[in-house]
Amino acid sequence: MDAIGERRRGPVPLVVTGPLAPYESLVRTELVSRKYAASSVRDAVLMMRRLSLWMERRELVAAGLTPARVEEFLAFRRAVCSSEPVARRSLGAVIKVLRHVSAVPVPVPVEAGGDAVQEVLADYGAYLRGERGLAAESVRCYCGQARKFLAALPDPLADSLARLDAAQVTAFMVRHTADAESVWSAKALVTAVRSLLRYLHVDGRIPASLTGSVPAVAGWRLDSLPRGLELQQVSALLSAPDTETSAGRRDRAVLTVLARLGLRGAEAAALQLSDIDWHAGEIAVRGKGSRVERLPLTAEVGEVLSDYLMEDRPRCSATAVFLTARAPYQALTGTCIRAIMGRACERAGLPRLGAHRLRHTLATAILRAGAPLPEVGQVLRHRSQLSTSIYAKVDHEALRSLAQAWPGGGAR
């Protein structure tokens, strides 16, 4: 078989030839130091060998391995091998090391006129972080919505922004909010576009403040019921992860934190080792508005966290509580938390649910156990009692005491 596509088993000797041969020892050492498993190092070195042979046949030197050439090699691999995701992952580890030591070119940063939308979004994201003090997850959401608006403008973007008027803004909003999946999705778009327009005006990219041309979305506070889960459904979710694997035990710990403490997904992802005070039995939570609040560390949560930290969490320099299962070990993101919840729902035989459903379930259970609404708000860390008041609708006992008898005494 062609050497570029051959399969190997067992330890991989120093066999890289071609333009990348001088860097094999460096790549091996760096991957081992980053706690890659031996099998992952083997796969990465084999992929490096295939890439080097491919480059040699095209008379490429290391300095010629541009991002476009990397994609060209991956396209070649797709034609001869069905495991393209594995190839991309193994190659990605090699390329990161080579770029770190400047052996191969790094992607060229976005410059003015290169990708105008991305340039504006980068500046807007910096504004949200620096001037507004928004959390990373909020910045991601705002920029994702802002991208829809900017991408709808014709090229060149700078000229379109300079000529932007109220009619264009309103037409865009009417068109896109009508296609939104829910009222809350439409409201998220309205909020983000208003924020973007404020930034663009302050930055001098549009001639006037156009926030008033963004129509509001009809929707009323307290118009729906919080949708909690039944006790057996929560138990099924917590039992869903495969506890025979370290990743499954991590997932169980994540789900337990969500279900028993009522954390938002992004808050669970942001937990740091220093946030857990084992002696005081408390855990610090970084919530909305960069606020840090403390919650009691229950026995159940403390047990699953200690089991994960002592037995399954990778030994590395990362400070986040929950890490990826494979090297390079990194903190989980909000997207990872949603994926964990999705997998648990599938294994439990439930429709795909968001992590927030566990938060609703906890609030509903506390209220039905007799706790007053202010205490529910404290557990959920609501800044306004209005946010908590929606749970009054699920307190059936309290509502029953307010119900008036049907006229004439008949049952209905």
DSSP per position, 202-240: HTTSSSS--GGGSPPPP--TT-S------HHHHHHHHH-
Q: Are 267 and 197 found together in one domain?
A: no
Span 66-112, pLDDT tens digits? 888 888 898 888 887 766 667 788 888 899 889 888 888 776 544 43
CATH code, domain with 317 = 1.10.443.10
Question: Which of 54-68, 104-118, 134-148, 372-386 bottoms out in mean pLDDT, i.e. has the lowest?
Answer: 104-118
Q: What is the model's pLDDT at position 12? A: 47
235 lies in the same domain as 350 = yes
Residues of 225-234 as b/e, b for ≥16 C-beta within 10 angstroms? Answer: ebebbeeebb
Q: How confident is the model at residue 253 (pLDDT cuts 50, 70, 90)?
A: very high
Give the range among 49-53, 199-203, 213-217, 344-348 with minimum mean pLDDT: 213-217
Question: Is the pLDDT at 411 greater than 80, yes or no?
Answer: no
Residue 351 predicted with pLDDT over 80: yes
Q: How many domains does the chain have?
A: 3
| Model pLDDT for residues 266-286, shown as the tens digit of each residue | 889 989 999 999 999 999 888
Q: Is the pLDDT of residue 170 over 70?
A: yes
Most confident range, picked from 179-183, 230-234, 305-309: 305-309
> Is the pLDDT confidence value at 365 over 80?
no
Tell me: do 146 and 91 sit in the same domain.
no
- Farthest CA pair distance, the chain: 95
Does 328 map to a domain?
Answer: yes
pLDDT of residue 330: 85
Q: Do 349 and 239 share a structural domain?
A: yes
Q: pLDDT value at position 32?
A: 86
Check which CATH number belongs to the domain holding 167 and give it.
1.10.150
Say whether both 252 and 345 belong to one domain: yes
| 179-210 tens-digit pLDDT | 766 777 888 888 999 999 999 999 889 888 88
Q: Interior CA angle at 366 toward 360 and 368, to 5°?
A: 100
- pLDDT for 252 equals 94
Q: Is residue 399 part of a domain?
A: no
Rounded to a whole number, what is the distance in angstroms from the first to the last CA of the chain? 80
Q: Write out 288-340 in H/E/C secondary structure.
A: HHHCEEEEECCHHHHHHHHHHHHHHCCCCCCCECCECCCCCCCECCHHHHHHH
Query: Are 196 and 250 contained in the same domain?
Result: no
Q: Is residue 4 part of a domain?
A: no
Residue-number span of the structural domain to which 180 is assigned: 114-213
Task: Show the tokens assigned to 305.
Answer: 């966290």
Does 400 reside within a domain? Answer: no
Residue that finishes a domain, picked among 101, 135, 170: 101
Inform me whether the pLDDT recorded for 291 exceeds 70: yes
Q: What is the pLDDT confidence band of residue 391, given thresholds at 50, 70 and 90?
A: low
pLDDT of residue 111: 43
The answer to whether residue 86 is domain-embedded is yes
- Please report, rounded to a whole number, the percentage of residues in the chain having pLDDT higher than 90: 24
pLDDT of residue 112: 39
209 and 122 both lie in a single domain: yes
Cβ burial, residue 114 (10 Å; 0-12/13-18/19+)? exposed
Within a domain: 97: yes
**Does some domain include residue 130?**
yes
Same domain, 269 and 346: yes
Q: Does 97 lie in the same domain as 131?
A: no
pLDDT value at residue 2: 45
Q: Are residues 126 and 193 in the same domain?
A: yes
Residue 265 has pLDDT above 70, yes or no: yes
Question: What rounded mean pLDDT belongs to the chain?
Answer: 81
Closest CA to 120 of 156, 158, 64, 87: 158
Residues tagged active-site: 264, 288, 356, 359, 382, 391
Q: Is the pLDDT of residue 146 over 80?
A: yes
Gap between the Cα atoms of 349 and 326, Å rounded: 27
Ranges 137-151, 282-296, 373-387, most confident = 137-151
- Both 48 and 85 in one domain: the answer is yes
The Cα 366–Cα 380 span in angstroms is: 11
Q: Which residues contact 101 (CB under 8 A, 6 or more apart)?
A: 23, 26
Q: In the predicted model, what is the mean pLDDT of residues 116-127?
A: 87
What is the percent of the chain where pLDDT is above 70?
80
**Distance between CA 127 and CA 118 in Å, rounded?**
14
Write the pLDDT tens digit of every residue in 2-40. 445 545 444 545 578 899 999 999 999 888 887 788 888
Q: Does some domain include residue 363?
A: no
Q: 219 or 264: whose pLDDT is higher?
A: 264
Q: Are residues 241 and 349 in the same domain?
A: yes
* pLDDT for the residue numbered 273: 93
Q: Identify the pLDDT of residue 239.
A: 92
